[in-house]
Amino acid sequence: MHKLLLAGVSAIALALTGISGASAQDLKFPKGEGAFSWKALDDFAAAHKGLEGQKLTIWGPWREGGDKEQFETVLAYFKDATGIDVSYASSENYEQQAVIDTAAGSAANITILPQPGLLADLASKGYLTPLGDDLAARVKEEYAAGDSWVSLGTYKGKDGNPAFFAVPYKADLKSLVWYSPDNFAEKGYEVPQTFEDMMALSKKIIADGGTPWCIGLGSGGATGWPATDWIEDIMLRTQSPEDYDKWVTNDLKFNDPKVVGALDIFGEIAKDDKMVAGGAKAVGTTDFRDSPKGLFTVPPQCYMHHQASFIPSFFPEGTQLGTDASFFYFPPFADKDLGKPVLGAGTLVTITKDSPTAKAFIDFVQNPISNEIWMAQSGFLSPLKSANIETYGNDTLKGEGKILLDATTFRFDGSDMMPGAIGAGAFWTGMVDFVNGKSSQDVADEIQKAWDSIKK
């Protein structure tokens, strides 16, 4: 498919969609009703008077369907509170276009992206506006795992000094294990609270004649990526957050014993014929979209499936979340003192063309109402502690949101932050080689060799 990149003229100017003048009937949820933080919205409006009629442009990742429409319902409350004339735009190649527009000096006031690495590059070139130490302190205090979010939004500026540039908004959750409550109840199984308990449960399921896990790494040209999530979750549960960060940047080598150990832990499940549906030989060839379906067969082909919050989209038609399927937090090791780490992703909000309206919007995304309006719909999780979890649109989102709020550490998907040749290349193929029989040390050595080759 041809992707149009607009150089020299801003895509913002050509693609902006204005948010029409918000009136009471335009707002998704009537003000004053429900569990929303209406007083926080009133306080925000009172603090941002005098901006009526001024313009704000926003460039972001939500370009069609539900996400775009739901974001626009949030923007309606911002416009209603401030009178600011808001325009939002996106495109299929929104990341590349953001790079082009910032370099050309024609960026939107606000740019929202899900890639900390790309934002770090923009910051190093002087294209992002520092948000200040006070705002960083606010994020540290007001967000679950606040230190983690400050770290994810802190990059070196053009002067080489680190500064805080990006505020979190809309998180995604990966540290989940899916299961059928009916299957667990029938066998008397309990949700494990530690990794050791989860492995003991796996062995009990085998002893009872069942198969604990469904795992599928198949994904066309991206085959192997689901295993990278396993390794990342295990790294966060066996090593410090600092070591995880060093691993992502290769300051901790991929063939370090700490990383090889994580592969071995994954191998205890994925390479054991008794542990996985279809045996170890099926792991590398089963499509990740098909792998959770074994939870719902009669009798069940498996009892647990590790995957991110999006996976219910691939459950059999008619599956009722909370009844036919549920999830639990991928548990920590009992013998480690690493708290409750969470692996995920999310979008970060930056100022790419400074203005009073841009500063007002940064303040707005830290207001609980900007989170709650989307939380009450679908596909939005918030790490903001002041956002009322009772506004989540269903119990599944509420449960996922609680895991996010209980997190002591939050880290982005490591493979997504590695260079493409590693995170979307050698790491993927290495994991396929691993489940197909290659040793953890050999796989780690090969991935490190690929790292070394791109440094030359």
pLDDT tens for each residue of 164-206: 999 999 999 999 999 999 999 999 999 999 999 999 999 999 9
Cα separation, 171 vs 168, in Å, equals: 8
CA distances for 438 relative to 233, 254, 446, angstroms: 21, 16, 11
Give the distance from CA 285 to its chain's centroid: 26
Tokens representing residue 443 in the block: 């796989």
Q: Is the pLDDT of residue 351 over 50?
A: yes
Neighbours of 182 (CB within 10 A): 14
Q: Is 258 exposed, middle or buried (0-12, 13-18, 19+ CB in 10 A)?
A: middle
Q: Is the pLDDT of residue 4 over 90?
A: no
Q: Which residue has the tokens 């890639």?
A: 115
pLDDT band at 34 (very low <50, low <70, confident <90, very high): very high
pLDDT tens for each residue of 383-423: 999 999 999 999 999 999 999 999 999 999 999 899 999 99
Partners of 384 in the β-ladder: 143
pLDDT band at 127 (very low <50, low <70, confident <90, very high): very high
Fold of 38-171+346-412: D-Maltodextrin-Binding Protein; domain 2 (3.40.190)
How much is the pLDDT for 66?
A: 83
How much is the pLDDT for 15?
A: 55
Note whether 76 and 22 are within 8 A (CB): yes
Q: Is the pLDDT of residue 5 over 60?
A: no
Average pLDDT of every residue of the chain: 94
pLDDT tens for each residue of 280-325: 999 999 999 999 999 999 999 999 999 999 999 999 999 999 999 9
Cα separation, 151 vs 431, in Å, equals: 28
Q: Is 333 exposed, middle or buried (0-12, 13-18, 19+ CB in 10 A)?
A: middle
Q: Is the pLDDT of residue 449 over 70?
A: yes
pLDDT band at 65 (very low <50, low <70, confident <90, very high): confident
- Has this prediction a pTM greater than 0.85? yes
Query: Position 345: which residue type?
Result: A
Partners of 347 in the β-ladder: 169
User: Rounded mean pLDDT of 98-127?
Assistant: 96
pLDDT tens for each residue of 331-348: 999 999 999 999 999 999
Fold of 176-340+425-454: D-Maltodextrin-Binding Protein; domain 2 (3.40.190)
pLDDT band at 18 (very low <50, low <70, confident <90, very high): low
Q: Is the pLDDT of residue 119 over 70?
A: yes
Q: Is the pLDDT of residue 432 over 90?
A: yes
Q: Is 63 exposed, middle or buried (0-12, 13-18, 19+ CB in 10 A)?
A: middle
Neighbours of 222 (CB within 10 A): 12
Nearby residues of 160 by Cβ (< 8 Å), 6 or more positions away: none
Task: State how beta strands 17-18 and 85-89 pair.
Answer: antiparallel
CATH 3.40.190.10 domain span(s) along the chain: 38-171+346-412, 176-340+425-454
CA proximity to 361, closest of 22, 16, 5, 59? 59
Q: Where would I find the H helices in 239-355? A: 241-249, 257-270, 280-283
Partners of 87 in the β-ladder: 18, 57
Q: Where would I find the H helices in 280-426? A: 280-283, 356-365, 368-375, 395-406, 414-417, 420-421
